[in-house]
Amino acid sequence: MEISLKDQVAVITGASSGIGAGVAKSLASAGATVVVNYPFEGSMEQANSVLKEIIDAGGKGIIYQCDVSKEDQVVKMFQDIVSELGTVDILINNAGIQKDAKFTEMTIDQWNAVMGVNLTGQFLCAREAIKEFLRRGIDPSRSVACGKIIHISSVHEIIPWAGHANYASSKGAIRMLMQTLAQEYGADKIRVNSICPGAIQTPINTNAWNTDNALNSLLTLIPYNRIGQPEDIGNLAAFLASDLSDYITGSSIFIDGGMTTFESFSTGG
Ligand code: BGC
């Protein structure tokens, strides 16, 4: 059995680093042509190096700058991709940020910035992707589904997180966005799912793993006793984007080394 995304176009938002970069590499190695989206001029170099790695490994792709929280930029990105690559088959709604603060000190800017990228960004990209899926229709030479959307959520879709009310709220909302879209577009054969990563070793959570103390304390939350890697998420994303998972829609899949078993209850409660 082999996962093949051959000749399918996959847009991965926030793919210049972290989980997005890992997912872009995995989908490209399964044969997809990937769009490595990056947010600002300043992240172009990183996006280029992700693409270079993909091309050096025999894969295909392009880079594309777009701030997913801006409607005009998202609409243009999908138009440009369709005119350059023909269509879009897979959307990985990955771009996400944290702006942490104690709740009573959280500014409206910190709240809006996180909601803008993590939630509005996922809404805008999903809307444009679904419009394109419906325009193209099912093409059995590409996939038995009309299109696939994978939201990158978080264990904080269900685990409350003190000091991160904006982030946790955005991830909780992604669950309802995902399930509503799966319900609304199931009959059109569009599959919509979420991946909920736990602690993955990326720039977003550097202070959770970059000292021995921090890492040891993080590992007390993870029964499987290791931090996750972007490839762990990439492997699952490739499966969820492929026809091997054709009966999976409307699901949140947790990939967290057991973090959501609430390890701290192993000796108490
Ligand atoms: C956050 C990380 C955090 C992890 C587990 C992720 O969604 O972005 O900062 O380490 O959840 O708590």
Residue from 98, 156, 233, 259 to probe ligand 1 pocket by mutation (most atoms less than 8 Å from CB): 156
Question: Is the confidence at residue 265, as pLDDT, over 90?
Answer: no
Give the C-alpha distances (Å, rounded to integers) separating 183 from 64, 68, 85, 263.
30, 24, 28, 33
3-state per-residue secondary structure call for the chain: CCCCCCCCEEEECCCCCHHHHHHHHHHHHCCCEEEEEECCHHHHHHHHHHHHHHHHCCCEEEEEECCCCCHHHHHHHHHHHHHHHCCCCEEEECCCCCCCCCHHHCCHHHHHHHHHHHHHHHHHHHHHHHHHHHHHCCCCCCCCCCEEEEEECCHHHCCCCCCCHHHHHHHHHHHHHHHHHHHHHHHHCEEEEEEEECCECCHHHHHHCCCHHHHHHHHCCCCCCCCECHHHHHHHHHHHHCHHHCCCCCCEEEECCCHHHCHHHCCCC
CA angle 206, 211, 214 (to 5 degrees): 80
Per-residue confidence at 267, pLDDT binned at 50, 70, 90?
A: confident
Does ligand 1 come within 6 angstroms of the Cβ of 255?
no
Question: Is the confidence at residue 269, as pLDDT, over 90?
Answer: no
Positions marked catalytic: 167
Per-residue confidence at 218, pLDDT binned at 50, 70, 90?
A: very high
Residue 1: the pLDDT is 87
Average pLDDT, the chain: 98
Could you say which of 3.30.1360.200, 3.10.20.30, 3.40.50.720, 3.40.640.10 is the CATH number of the domain covering 9-257? 3.40.50.720
Nearest alpha carbon to residue 227 among 211, 239, 242, 238: 211
Question: Is the confidence at residue 264, as pLDDT, over 90?
Answer: no
Does ligand 1 come within 6 angstroms of the Cβ of 201?
no
CB of 240 within 8 A of CB of 193?
yes
Question: Is the confidence at residue 174, as pLDDT, over 90?
Answer: yes
Question: Is the confidence at residue 112, as pLDDT, over 90?
Answer: yes
pTM (predicted TM-score): 0.98
CB of 74 within 8 A of CB of 125?
yes
Question: Is the confidence at residue 145, as pLDDT, over 90?
Answer: yes
Query: Atom 3, ligand 1: which residue's CA is nearest?
Result: 199
Residue 34 CA, ligand 1 centroid: distance in Å: 25
CB of 178 within 8 A of CB of 151?
yes
200/256 Cα distance (integer angstroms): 8
Residue 266: the pLDDT is 86
Q: What is the pLDDT of residues 40-83, one digit of tens each?
A: 999 999 999 999 999 999 999 999 999 999 999 999 999 999 99
Residue 165 CA, ligand 1 centroid: distance in Å: 13
CB of 193 within 8 A of CB of 236?
no
Mean pLDDT of 155-166: 98
